[in-house]
Amino acid sequence: MTTEHGPLILVVDDYQDAREMYAEYLQYSGFRVAEAKNGNEAVAQARSLKPDLILMDLSLPGMDGWEATRVLKADEETRHIPIVALTGHALAGASEGARKAGCDSFVTKPCLPDDLVVEVRRMLNAVKQG
Amino acid sequence: MRLELLEYYLLHYEDLPRCAQASLEWLARHAGVRRSICLAMDGDAGLLVGVAGVGVSADDLEEYSAPLSHTHDPLVRALTAPAPTTLRSGRDNGLARHPGFGSASVLAVPLRGDRHDDGDAVGLLLVKAGTPVTGSVNWLATVLGQKLDQIRGRGSLTEELRKLRRERALFFTIINSVTDPIMLTDTEGRLIVANSRAEKLFAATEEESEGRRRAVELNNMLFSAALSRTVVEAPSEARELLLVDPSDGSDLLFEVLSTTVEDPREGTGIVSVLRNITDLRRATEQIEENYQRLRVAESAVRAERDRLNLIIDSVADPIIVTDQSGATVLMNDPSEELFTVAAEAPSTAQRTVQSNDAHFSSFISGLLLGESGPGEIRRGEIGLMNPLSGEPIPVEAIAGKVLTETGELTAVVTILHDRREALERTRLYEQLRVASDELQMRVQSATAELATQNELLRRQAIELEQASRLKSQFLANMSHEFRTPLNAILGYTHMLLQGVAGDLPANIRRQLTRIDSNGRHLLTIINEILDITRIEAGKMPMQVSEFNLNELVPEVMTELDPVISRSKLTVTSRLCADAPVMISDRQKVKQVIVNLLSNALKFTHQGGIEIGVDFDASSRIATITVTDTGIGIAPEHHDKIFEDFRQVDDSPSRQYGGTGLGLAICRRLASALGGRITLQSRLGEGSTFTLTIPAEAPQ
């Protein structure tokens, strides 16, 4: 059910099972999907592909999600791309840290694929309207 | 009366002065001529001399001596005058005055004898001018003149006169030299002869003051009265006589010694000697008074001394009073026990007393000899012994000086204070101090040990805290690590159930549903463990905001609506009209209510659940009660259910799911909100959980 014309979502996660699960469900839900497994890849992909939205896991090897977000939000070319942070750290302050780094939204894992798609659609609509 | 004179005097007296004197006295008595002088001619010596006088002194009388050859002398002239001549003062007689008459003029009456018809007088009678020359005077002048003439004819007047005068002068010198008044009176007390002292009391001239004369008169009366009594009662006994001093009116007390004398010519007379005993009496009275005073003082002193003795003896401490030489003046009973001993006492006791005495003496000698300041107190310790028992008695001696008003040392008072008791106290105190020191040392060592233990505990506490923090961190990490795979499990299960892989046979769908529900359960457990960990790690800080319970409760009910609908129970809310604006952590309050309502739903099979909101305005405490008609909890399990991972039924085959962490979390949250959770329940009768929190959460 891959759609050629759906919005492009960049899924950044070092855990392959989770990354592929979300990618598969997003494609199933009508989005185009690109994947990155660390911060560096995420920044490179974002710059080359200019996705409509980035799903960013924050705990990443090498350059982590916060750092990658800061880099992208500091870049004229990529700063308009909404970034939805994904984190397994439900501790208080995690979302605050993510917003400070420049994330536009925040989702706590575990997050059912269905719920994630709801959030992605909401963010895209917000961008469209904004 | 004239006869009396003739009979007694003129006839009997043969010597001229006596005869003249008697005549003048007669004149004084009977004619009231109180002052008169008789002058007689001494033919051999060629002198006119005074031979007798009344009311004039012997010295005055002697002044009258005029040679007959001095024919211009007024007296000599008067001798030859045919009638009495008045001699004026100062001029007419060549003398400065008329001795005995003061400044008054004098009437000189010539005395003529029978034999000399030539008219020359043989003497002169001098009376005060102005004295009425009565018949008595004239008569006396005639009689006396004849008598003088007769006597003159018989012998030498001068010789006799000189002798008489010498005797008389001597006599007066003698009696005047006696300091006591002496006088010769007749039996009625009339003065015949008196010495000058007596005259001062009993004689007064016209010229003298009224007061003085009256005093003299009074004295005469008193004396006469006394004399008459003497004569009648006890002739030779001394009597006391109170007279008045004419010069100043004061009382004079005399002792009168009277002796009756018989003179063949003069008759009975009384010689009285008056001894002034006024001063003597006064002195006697003074002595008497002093003696009385002395007696009183002595008795007061005695009483004082008795009282002092009583006081001194009643003092338990020995007291010794010594004089300035160090000799003991006074000691009380306790002192006597130390410093005196019976003569028959054993020689050891005698020696002890001597030794005590020597110790004491050397102690006070410093005070007696040394620097003496008033009020100086000397203190010292003396080692005495009990003479009878030989027991040593250490005493503290305190000695003070007793000074006279002039600052001379009269006595030293020493108090000896037995120091045995004090020493014993000191010894006990020392023991107590040692014990106290030991105790203090023990306390110190115990305290030190306690401090060590505390330090140890503190370190252990730090270690425990670190361990706890590590545990929390570990659990946080673990839960994260759990979530990652769980995320994939739940995600893929969900995708399959959503039909990502196409339609599934019913049995596979049922199996996937089991995976899903168990996965969700596992997630709940992990979340709850994470909550507890977060609370304990302090990573769930208070987020205070304003909210209303009347809004929060329906919100919770709405959130749990899917579960409520499935349960088919009646869930109602009872809101509070005066619910306050809460200033607390809305999220935490909500979590507790959600938890309590979830539990009620889980353990209630029929009936209903009511959530009530109440507020006590005075204590500003809000309560949220969740009451169910569920299975209830036996009282013995009321505490257990608030513990971690606990349900009433802990067995693996238990009927109700859940981690058993819900109430434990609620308890921690309530505590964080400054409140608590209580339970009222009995097995089978439903339960009421009550969350009690302050409207304003503590910061």
Whether A40 shows a pLDDT value over 70: the answer reads: yes
Same domain, B625 and B531: no
Number of H helices, E strands in chain A: 5, 5
Nearest CA in chain A to B487: A110
Of B480, B484, B495, the CB nearest to A113: B495
CATH number at residue B19: 3.30.450.40
B98 within 8 A of B87, measured Cβ to Cβ: yes
Domain membership flag for residue B209: yes
pLDDT tens per residue, range B655-690: 666 667 788 888 888 988 999 999 998 888 889 999
B384 within 8 A of B395, measured Cβ to Cβ: yes
Same domain, B624 and B573: yes
Res. A12 pLDDT band, cuts 50 70 90: very high
pTM value?
0.41
What is the per-residue pLDDT for A20?
A: 92
Mean pLDDT of chain B: 82
Question: What residues make up the domain containing A39?
Answer: 8-111
Domain membership flag for residue A130: no
Distance from CA of B598 to the nearest CA of A (A): 22
What is the per-residue pLDDT for B2?
A: 65
Same domain, B137 and B236: no
Domain membership flag for residue A124: no
Nearest CA in chain B to A94: B539
CATH number at residue A61: 3.40.50.2300
Whether A1 shows a pLDDT value over 50: the answer reads: no
8 Å CB contact of B500 and A28: yes
Domain membership flag for residue A84: yes
Determine which of A13, A21, A26, A55 to mutate to test the interface with B (most B C-beta atoms within 10 Å).
A21
What is the per-residue pLDDT for B117?
A: 52
How remote is the C-alpha of B658 from its chain's centroid?
94
pLDDT tens per residue, range B487-515: 889 999 999 998 888 888 999 999 999 89
Same domain, B196 and B155: no
Beta bridge partners of B351: none
Domain stop point among B276, B308, B340: B276
User: How far apart are the C-alpha atoms of A20 and A8, rounded to whole Å?
Assistant: 15
Whether A119 shows a pLDDT value over 90: the answer reads: yes
Residues in chain A: 130
Across the range B293-308, mean pLDDT stands at 88
8 Å CB contact of B495 and A25: yes
Domain membership flag for residue A127: no
Nearest CA in chain A to B496: A25
Question: What residues make up the domain containing B347?
Answer: 319-401
Same domain, B526 and B551: no
Same domain, B433 and B492: yes
Q: How far is CA B452 from CA A92, B366, B445, B460, B465, in A?
A: 39, 62, 10, 12, 19
Across the range B619-642, mean pLDDT stands at 88
Helix (H) or strand (E) holding B690, with range, is strand B687-694
Whether B135 shows a pLDDT value over 90: the answer reads: no
Q: B297 — contact with chain A (CB < 8 Å)? A: no
8 Å CB contact of A110 and B486: yes
Of A15, A17, A114, the CB nearest to B494: A114
Domain membership flag for residue A30: yes
Distance from CA of A60 to the nearest CA of B (A): 13
Share of chain B above pLDDT 70, in %: 88
Of B479, B485, B490, the CB nearest to A112: B490
Same domain, B448 and B575: no
Whether B639 shows a pLDDT value over 60: the answer reads: yes
Other beta carbons less than 10 A from residue B183's beta carbon:
25
Same domain, B41 and B168: yes
Domain membership flag for residue A72: yes
pLDDT tens per residue, range B36-64: 888 887 766 678 888 888 888 777 787 78
Same domain, B240 and B367: no
Q: Where are the alpha helices (DSSP H) in A1-130?
A: 16-28, 39-49, 65-74, 94-101, 113-129
Residue found under tokens 């309530």: B670
End-to-end CA distance of chain A: 29
Beta bridge partners of A32: A8
Determine which of A15, A96, A109 to mutate to test the interface with B (most B C-beta atoms within 10 Å).
A109
CATH number at residue B215: 3.30.450.20
Q: B699 — contact with chain A (CB < 8 Å)? A: no
CB-defined contacts A:B, below 8 A: 58
User: How far apart are the C-alpha atoms of B669 and B641, rounded to whole Å?
Assistant: 15
Across the range B75-87, mean pLDDT stands at 80
8 Å CB contact of B483 and A109: yes
Res. B475 pLDDT band, cuts 50 70 90: confident
Q: Dihedral angle at the C-alpha atoms of B508, B513, B518, B520, nearest 10 degrees?
A: 140
Residues in chain B: 699
User: How far apart are the C-alpha atoms of B87 and B679, rounded to whole Å?
Assistant: 162
Domain membership flag for residue B295: no
What is the per-residue pLDDT for B659?
A: 65
Same domain, B10 and B153: yes
* CA nearest to B254, candidates B279, B234, B274: B274
B125 within 8 A of B137, measured Cβ to Cβ: yes
Same domain, B591 and B668: yes
**How many structural domains does chain A have?**
1
Same domain, B578 and B631: yes
Whether B8 shows a pLDDT value over 80: the answer reads: no
What is the per-residue pLDDT for B96?
A: 44
Task: Show residues of chain B in contact with A92, CB under 8 Å.
Answer: 534, 539-541
Helix (H) or strand (E) holding A82, with range, is none
Whether A91 shows a pLDDT value over 60: the answer reads: no
Q: B476 — contact with chain A (CB < 8 Å)? A: yes
Whether B352 shows a pLDDT value over 80: the answer reads: yes
Nearest CA in chain B to A27: B500
**How many structural domains does chain B have?**
5
Tokens (6 digits) for B636: 């013995």
Nearest CA in chain A to B497: A114
Domain stop point among B249, B276, B303: B276
- Residue numbers of A between 47 and 106 with CB closer than 8 Å to B: 88-93
Domain membership flag for residue A50: yes
Q: B480 — contact with chain A (CB < 8 Å)? A: yes
User: How far apart are the C-alpha atoms of B252 and B201, rounded to whole Å?
Assistant: 10
Distance from CA of B506 to the nearest CA of A (A): 22
What is the per-residue pLDDT for B93?
A: 47
What is the per-residue pLDDT for B392?
A: 86
